[in-house]
Chains A and B, each alone.
Chain A
Amino acid sequence: MLMAERPYFNDLEVPKTIDDVVSIEKSVKKALGRARAATVSIDLGDGYGSGVIISEKGLILTAAHVSGGVGKELTIIFEDGREVQAESLGLNSESDCAMMKLLDEDDEGKPWPFVELDRKESIRLGDWVFSLGYLGGFDEDRGVVLRVGRVTKIAPDTIRTDCQLLGGDSGGPLFDMTGRLVAIHSRIAPNLEGNMHVPMNEFQRHWEPMLAGEFIGEGPFAKRSDPLIESWEMKLIEKGGELIVADLKKGGVGHRAGFEKGDQLIEVNGEELSGLDNLRDMAKLWVEEKELVRVKVLRGANQMLTLKIEK
């Protein structure tokens, strides 16, 4: 059945007649309506990306560098300008895969518009594909931007095409000529044909953990947020076995507690610190117990103080 679906022009080295070219156009136009309805712009507050809905309950695939973290609230914008709320689920920070879901499981009683996935990796080198996305951010007058091209390279975790991508396209969908989702836009190289997309098999490899909200890998496409440093609003670094305040937000929690740049952290709640990991482990307890944290710090050569951080 899959073979029957495969358009004949994918198996031509290049289109031979203008009828072949017209067939490509017809396929794009036929698949475009549904593809377009499911493609969304993602407003991150301090930036923008794209995504695509893949289930009637509003599951969204996007790029890890768009989502940026787990459990974040985001605004999704449809092509007609309608805004709905979503939450980020898990991500794979090594391959640039991420999931999100719309907070409402249906669209006022109706299913969300969605597209089918290419689950069998049926995409081949030279296949014709089309790309959608909100490059440069959402623009209601312009709407979504279409590009048509060919698969120019297939590597284990990346597909390359000559559909020119640009910032804001990230997380948007790449479709085959029947309108199935084959990959998600990830990154570009400066040459016009260097457009990289993450194929569906890469998403399927970690499907369940991502759905469950897991943060997979150590980057480079997303960095784990550090709840401790976020809540203290200070940047801590480990230098020669010492834990030092490298920077702190003016008026932030750490600053108000009396910390200064250059302070060395010695003890927390009477327990001696052995490093950043050790501090993070301890921090997990405070988050749960909500107690007052007392930190002994060394300032300069010989000034020892105890600072209190209110929860």
Chain B
Amino acid sequence: MARIYMVLCFLLVEILAGQGEVVLEIGKRLAGDELREVFEEQKEVLNRHSVAIYGGEKGRNALLFGTVVREDGYILTKASSYLEIENVSLRIGGEKYREPVLVALSEDWDLALLKVEAVGLEPVKLDGERSLELGTWVISNGGTSRRERRVRAGVISAKSREIKSRDRPFLGVMIDQEGEEEGLLLKGVMKESGAENAGLRKGDVLTQVEEFKIRDFEDIKEALSGRKVGAVIRVGVLRGGDSFEVEVELKSRSELTKKKEQVDRNDVMSGRYSERRDDFPRVIQHSTLMSAKNIGGPLLTIDGSCVGLNIAHANRSENYAIPAKELKMMIEILIEESEKRGGDPIDFEQRGEAGDSRQGVLNQ
């Protein structure tokens, strides 16, 4: 009975909603077109400094944004998302640029530097000194048409900080929770893991990892905490009657299991989030209604200064931007790197063969 009552209530609300009495019109909401009109000046600024990146099967879908960083055609965007796009073309204002050249990459910041043939573009005005208290309005790229970019407003929503990698380093051994008196018996080693490469095998007993004595699973967790993927560590082993030491390279969980990052319930409720959303040296956090497609453009304050570059839509409620101070440094480094190489395009397959440990991040 109570249930029927609740259903009726619900219907009633829906009917009223249809008459526009109980529901705020979509246009008046935070991402609405009517509310957007107040940000007309900010839209002009965004239009000058941001780049719409089109691609897909027919090259007609707006898939990402970019930020103009120098008047002669240098543009920054999110590397891992950019490298996934086929049939790329760019739009700055209404102008189309067909063949952007990828001239430099930063794996630490997931940035790609692109170059187009252009003169007189308007680079963002970086302001790295601004204090960004929680609640400060910020403007990002909303939707886009072929002619112009639209704004989406949000606020600074949490403290600036490092986003640590979620990918934990692994030895690549299979073990029990509980160990023996002398150490932890290996039940097996994972294929292509650091443990296998170091010659460890089933039946070995793990006694030591760096300065930590190993007696159970918790000891290994403790010994590995704070260490990075790619680090090489000393491991003490007991085999038969012999005790010896080997060096083991730590590999990442995703690399070993060949599985994508685990998707949790919050991810399911987050729509399209950025594939790479962790392992950034420092970010500004803001809450703006957006998706992975809105990333790559500038983060502006309402007076038009650029305080960051949107680098990840981490989930429904959290977006990260590279702070202007760090961005300024990276622009200099990446342009210099590109000029040193004569502005040649980067061939990242070669980079991969050269043993780049972060190859996976670039989806190559």
Interface residues of A (CB under 8 A from B): 13-18, 20-22, 25, 28-29, 32, 36, 125-126, 130, 135-136, 141-156, 162-169, 188, 190, 192-193
Q: In the bound complex, do residue A192 and residue B271 qualify as a contact, i.e. CB atoms below 8 Å apart?
A: yes
B residues 59-84 in Cβ contact with A at 8 Å: none
B residues near A143, Cβ cutoff 8 Å: 158-159
Instruction: Assign chain B's interface to a size class.
Output: 35 or more
Indicate the member of A22, A32, A145, A190 with the most B CB atoms within 10 Å. A145
Q: Give the shortest distance, in Å, between A286 (CB) and chain B (any CB).
A: 32
Given known A20-B38, A25-B137, A155-B22, contact A166–B302 (CB-CB < 8 A): no
Indicate the member of B34, B133, B162, B289 with the most A CB atoms within 10 Å. B289
A residues near B134, Cβ cutoff 8 Å: 29, 32, 36, 146
**A/B pair count, beta carbons within 8 Å:** 135
B198 interface hit (Cβ, 8 Å): no
- Bound-state CA distance A36–B287 (Å) is 16
5 tightest CB-CB pairs across the interface, nearest first?
A28-B135, A152-B24, A164-B317, A141-B161, A147-B287
Mask: chain B, 18-30; 1 = CB below 8 Å from A; 0 = not? 0000111000111
**Complex: chain A residue closest to B36, CB-CB:** A14
Interface contacts beyond A18-B302, A22-B302, A150-B24: sample of 6 additional A-B pairs, CB < 8 Å, sorted by A: A125-B22, A135-B318, A142-B161, A146-B135, A162-B289, A169-B317
- Bound-state CA distance A182–B261 (Å) is 38
Mask: chain B, 133-152; 1 = CB below 8 Å from A; 0 = not? 11111000000000000000
Q: In the bound complex, do residue A145 and residue B28 qualify as a contact, i.e. CB atoms below 8 Å apart?
A: no
Please pick, from A167, A169, A192, the residue contacting B265 in the complex, using a CB distance under 8 A. Answer: A167
Q: In the bound complex, do residue A17 and residue B137 qualify as a contact, i.e. CB atoms below 8 Å apart?
A: no
B residues near A188, Cβ cutoff 8 Å: 269, 316
28 contacts between A and B (CB under 8 A): A13-B34, A14-B38, A15-B38, A17-B38, A18-B38, A21-B137, A22-B137, A25-B135, A25-B155, A29-B135, A32-B134, A135-B266, A135-B315, A141-B159, A142-B285, A143-B159, A145-B157, A146-B157, A152-B24, A164-B289, A166-B266, A166-B270, A167-B265, A190-B271, A192-B31, A192-B289, A192-B316, A193-B289
- Bound-state CA distance A169–B38 (Å) is 30
B residues 218-269 in Cβ contact with A at 8 Å: 265-266, 269
Q: Give the shortest distance, in Å, between A29 (CB) and chain B (any CB).
A: 5
Given known A167-B269, A192-B289, contact A153–B22 (CB-CB < 8 A): yes
Q: In the bound complex, do residue B155 and residue A146 qualify as a contact, i.e. CB atoms below 8 Å apart?
A: yes
Q: In the bound complex, do residue A142 and residue B135 qualify as a contact, i.e. CB atoms below 8 Å apart?
A: no
